[in-house]
Chains A and B, each alone.
Chain A
Amino acid sequence: MQTKRMTFSSGWLPYALLAPQVIITLIFFIWPASQALYQSVLRQDIFGLRTEFVGLDNFARLLNDPLYLNSLNVTFWFSVGTTFLSMSVALLFAVMVNRMIRSRDSYTTFLVWPYAVAPAIAGVLWWFIFNPSIGIMPYMLKGFGYDWNHRSSSTDAMILIIVAAAWKQISYNFLFFLAGLQSIPQSLIEAAAIDGASRMKRFWTIVFPLLSPITFFLMVVNVVYAMFDTFGVIHATTEGGPAQATNILVYKVYRDGFVNLNLGSSAAQSVILMAIVVILTVIQFRYIERRVNY
């Protein structure tokens, strides 16, 4: 790891400087994370009186539990849906805004602020818009002959949380796509235009491939967002229902731990989630390193 060529003479000072962060990290991060690992191999009886060591049994149970497998499946479709919707809309907006010269900044201002809205609030907003009895969307859908009800239809509930989660994420993706588009050299595009390539062809053969590192980075970030930051979207709206249709993994950890008080299972689920984040983070870092070498 790099440092400066010249450094200050050490002693106790660097330790004192590091102390606040290291202490907080140990108490509120390392300690609970290792507790989760430890509890994941234990099982408590329902009154919390007896605890026994069960090895990997909690994990084995999870992987045979239809509810957990369902939650995996739900999380998968939710992440794919949210990522795809927010990224494609953001890319469209970024390409359009990038054409503009004078109005670029004003459009950007109008498109970035949803970043500031909390996921829980985004959930409540869309929940209101899609409310089966008074919402504007069900009213319009009825005009097309579709009877919207996210309280009884699994598909409708899933669409609702995907829209709410993706809406908030568009601004984030938009900013990164716009930055990416602006770093593409104009001369490349001009050369292709002189060769007679149409606008569409130029986009798909030059611009889009050059955006692919950013697209990949955003994909990882969006999957992480959909899997871990959307607790508020679910909790404030569908609460995992109807019939487990929106019970994503993070929500299930919370439900099993705090509502059903099944500590061993909740801890085992936490450990699986940790493994997923670590893998995604490692992918992200490898990507960052490669970018630095460019």
Chain B
Amino acid sequence: MVENNRWGNLLAHIILILGVAIVIFPVYVAIIASTHPSGTFLRGVMPLLPGPNALENYKTVIVEGRSRAGTPPIGGMLWNSFVMAMAITIGKLSISLLSAFAIVYFRFPFRIFFFWVIFLTLMLPVEVRILPTFQVVADLGMLNSFAGLSIPLIASATATFLFRQFFMTVPEELMEAARVDGAGPMKFFKDILMPLSITNIAALFVIMFIYGWNQYLWPLLITTDPEYYTIVMGIQRMVTGGDSEPLWHLVMATVVLAALPPILVILFMQRLFVKGLTETEK
């Protein structure tokens, strides 16, 4: 900044520390709650210091679940979430790389038509056309399957859009050189274009993984078999168990486990995440 204002900087630090505290508070509360025995929550206000039951609570949710209430162990749900998130991520990246390559590096009839068919999907989130999409998936017999969980969510053009923008900035000389050397289009794609795009692919990977992991409405609708529950939707099944208060210590242990993987992905890949985010949206 322009002048060195010590009091101003101090004030800024205070505001930021308070802000960070408020931002962190909900997750702190969840972690604390997940370490208490169930009795704590019958006795009035929730505690703000850790309790003794952490290991037991986490063991309960991961291994046993609450089979009587219809919630399977979390272990399986975490695995399902992981498979779904990876399937969505890899699926989106591969179809987007291929179609962006076709659109940028070829000239062929109906190119612009296909371009618009794909780009229409930028507009409508699955929440808006939820019922007909559900019917299509049901008609195809894809309820309760990983294909049903992931494929309908792959149909979105954000990644195609980003790769198209990026391919447009790749110098033409590279392709000319490849052609002079007698390389076909697929060889050029594999040996030159892919290595150049690796940072973009990694950045998008972070964002797509988080998107896939955090899906809620879609798995809620198409999975009726607990075998295929994902963890984010599984939480809802734990919370709405009749009129009684939820078992908060177990719910919060589940919340922590459900939120942790995407948070770790962001923290470890922050630079890539920011790059991917600002580029997809602008």
Q: B-contacting residues of A (Cβ < 8 Å)?
A: 1-8, 10, 13-15, 17-18, 20-22, 24-33, 35-36, 39, 89, 92-93, 96-97, 99-100, 103, 107-122, 124-126, 128-129, 131, 133-136, 139, 167, 170-172, 175-176, 179, 189-190, 193, 199, 217, 221, 228-229, 231-232, 235-236, 250, 253-254, 257-258, 263, 266-267, 270, 273-274, 277-278, 281, 288, 291
- What is the distance, in angstroms, from A168's C-beta to the closest C-beta of chain B? 10
Residues A21 and B125 in contact in the complex (CB < 8 Å), given A4-B175, A109-B267: no
Question: In the complex, which of the residues B102, B267, B282 has the most CB atoms of chain A within 10 Å of its own CB atom?
Answer: B102
- What is the distance, in angstroms, from A103's C-beta to the closest C-beta of chain B? 8
How far is B97's CA from A17's CA once the two chains are assembled, in angstroms? 9
Using CB atoms, name the residue of chain A closest to B271.
Answer: A105
Decide: B95 and A116 in contact? CB cutoff 8 A. Answer: no
- What is the distance, in angstroms, from B260's C-beta to the closest C-beta of chain A? 9
Decide: B213 and A118 in contact? CB cutoff 8 A. Answer: yes
Using CB atoms, name the residue of chain B closest to A193.
Answer: B2
**Which of chain A's residues have a CB closer than 8 A to the CB of B24?**
110
Among the 9-residue stretches B43-51, B63-71, B72-80, B195-203, the one with 4 or more Cβ atoms under 8 Å from chain A is B43-51
Indicate with 1 or 0, residue by residue over B262-273, a CB within 8 angstroms of chain A CB atoms. Answer: 110111001001
Q: A-contacting residues of B (Cβ < 8 Å)?
A: 1-3, 5, 8-9, 12-13, 15-16, 19-20, 23-27, 29-30, 33, 41, 44-46, 48, 94-96, 98-99, 101-108, 111-112, 114-115, 117-118, 120-125, 127-137, 140, 151-152, 154-155, 160, 168, 172, 175-176, 179, 184-186, 188, 210, 213-217, 220-221, 232-233, 235-236, 239, 245, 248, 251-252, 255, 258-259, 262-263, 265-267, 270, 273-274, 277-278, 281-282
Q: Say whether chain B's binding surface is mostly helix, strand, loop, or mixed.
A: helix
How far is B282's CA from A28's CA once the two chains are assembled, in angstroms? 26
> What are 22 A-to-B residue pairs whose CB atoms are below 8 Å?
A8-B185, A8-B188, A13-B185, A14-B108, A18-B114, A20-B94, A26-B117, A27-B140, A28-B136, A31-B132, A89-B19, A96-B15, A97-B16, A100-B16, A109-B267, A111-B23, A116-B210, A119-B216, A120-B214, A193-B3, A236-B235, A277-B128
Decide: A126 and B26 in contact? CB cutoff 8 A. Answer: yes
How far is B244's CA from A133's CA once the two chains are assembled, in angstroms? 13
Taking A7-B106, A10-B107 as given, write out 15 further A-B residue pairs in contact, using a Cβ cutoff of 8 Å, ordered by the A residue number. A7-B105, A22-B99, A25-B155, A31-B132, A35-B135, A115-B210, A116-B263, A118-B232, A120-B214, A124-B251, A128-B29, A133-B245, A136-B48, A235-B220, A288-B282
Choose one: B45, B98, B214, B259; the contact of A17 (CB below 8 Å): B98
How far is B217's CA from A39's CA once the two chains are assembled, in angstroms? 21
**Which of chain B's residues have a CB closer than 8 A to the CB of A122?**
26
**Which of chain A's residues have a CB closer than 8 A to the CB of B5?**
199
Decide: B29 and A129 in contact? CB cutoff 8 A. Answer: yes
Decide: B266 and A24 in contact? CB cutoff 8 A. Answer: no
How far is B175's CA from A122's CA once the two chains are assembled, in angstroms? 47
Decide: A99 and B23 in contact? CB cutoff 8 A. Answer: no
How far is B114's CA from A121's CA once the two chains are assembled, in angstroms? 37
Decide: B98 and A120 in contact? CB cutoff 8 A. Answer: no
Decide: A17 and B99 in contact? CB cutoff 8 A. Answer: yes
Decide: B217 and A231 in contact? CB cutoff 8 A. Answer: yes
Decide: A175 and B274 in contact? CB cutoff 8 A. Answer: yes
Decide: B136 and A228 in contact? CB cutoff 8 A. Answer: no
Decide: B107 and A3 in contact? CB cutoff 8 A. Answer: yes
Decide: B216 and A120 in contact? CB cutoff 8 A. Answer: yes
Residues A121 and B258 in contact in the complex (CB < 8 Å), given A28-B133, A33-B132, A176-B278: yes
Decide: B105 and A4 in contact? CB cutoff 8 A. Answer: yes
**Which of chain B's residues have a CB closer than 8 A to the CB of A270?**
128-132
How far is B102's CA from A270's CA once the two chains are assembled, in angstroms? 33
Decide: B155 and A231 in contact? CB cutoff 8 A. Answer: no
**Which of chain A's residues have a CB closer than 8 A to the CB of B114?**
18, 22
**Which of chain B's residues have a CB closer than 8 A to the CB of A39?**
131-132
Question: In the complex, which of the residues A1, A2, A121, A167 has the most CB atoms of chain B within 10 Å of its own CB atom?
Answer: A121
Decide: B115 and A1 in contact? CB cutoff 8 A. Answer: yes
How far is B125's CA from A108's CA once the two chains are assembled, in angstroms? 29
How far is B151's CA from A26's CA once the two chains are assembled, in angstroms? 12
Residues A18 and B98 in contact in the complex (CB < 8 Å), given A125-B255, A274-B124, A277-B124: yes
Decide: A124 and B172 in contact? CB cutoff 8 A. Answer: no
Decide: B266 and A116 in contact? CB cutoff 8 A. Answer: yes
Residues A36 and B274 in contact in the complex (CB < 8 Å), given A120-B236, A121-B232, A124-B239: no
How far is B128's CA from A228's CA once the two chains are assembled, in angstroms? 8
Decide: B185 and A92 in contact? CB cutoff 8 A. Answer: no
How far is B278's CA from A221's CA once the two chains are assembled, in angstroms? 13
Residues A28 and B152 in contact in the complex (CB < 8 Å), given A121-B232, A250-B128, A258-B221: yes
Residues A231 and B151 in contact in the complex (CB < 8 Å), given A109-B270, A189-B2: no
- What is the distance, in angstroms, from B89's C-beta to the closest C-beta of chain A? 14
Decide: B125 and A100 in contact? CB cutoff 8 A. Answer: no
- What is the distance, in angstroms, from A147's C-beta to the closest C-beta of chain B? 15
**Which of chain A's residues have a CB closer than 8 A to the CB of B16?**
93, 96-97, 100, 107
Question: In the complex, which of the residues A4, A116, A253, A258 has the most CB atoms of chain B within 10 Å of its own CB atom?
Answer: A116
- What is the distance, in angstroms, from B78's C-beta to the closest C-beta of chain A? 14
Decide: B232 and A120 in contact? CB cutoff 8 A. Answer: yes
**Which of chain B's residues have a CB closer than 8 A to the CB of A193?**
2-3
How far is B183's CA from A7's CA once the two chains are assembled, in angstroms? 13
